[in-house]
Amino acid sequence: MQGALDSTKSGARIVNLPADAVMFPGFTDSHVHLSGIGQRELTLNLDQVTSIEELKAELLAYREAHPELDRIRGRGWIETHWPEGRFPTAADLDEVAADIPVVLTRADGHASVANTAALEASGV
């Protein structure tokens, strides 16, 4: 820390933050997925699944580990190199979680899949 302070420019404003504060650097990339990363880490994390079958296994394991949940959200899948060559479907999710709403979002946040219970709950 001291080395960092020694390298500050003359006239730099130093701000002492409380210990529980969070500080983000000035973002120069206008396309960050900060909230998506947070969602992935706080819900069913699917960033390591390599197939629809593995996605279903992870969903089932998560459901069994969290029986108190009345709905499941997850994020992080990316189907590009999956052997099935397609997005997961409502029918895929229904195979392991037909009775509670499930919504899983792709890694980039640009697509989601919902099971039948989630679609019905949303009036679709």
User: What is the enclosing helix (H) or strand (E) of 27?
Assistant: none
The pLDDT of residue 111 is 96
The pLDDT of residue 7 is 66
Give the position of tokens 């003359």. 10
pLDDT beneath 50, residues of the chain: none
C-alpha span between 48 and 61 (Å, rounded): 14
Is 19 within a domain? Answer: no
In terms of residue numbers, what domain contains 39? Answer: 33-121
CATH of the domain at 83: 3.10.310.70
Here the tokens at position 110 are 């640009």
Residues 5-27 pLDDT 10s? 666 677 777 788 899 998 777 65
pTM to 2 decimal places = 0.73
The pLDDT of residue 41 is 77
- Give the count of domains, the chain: 1
Is 7 within a domain? Answer: no
Distances (CA, A) of 114 to 16, 17, 25, 90: 45, 41, 35, 6
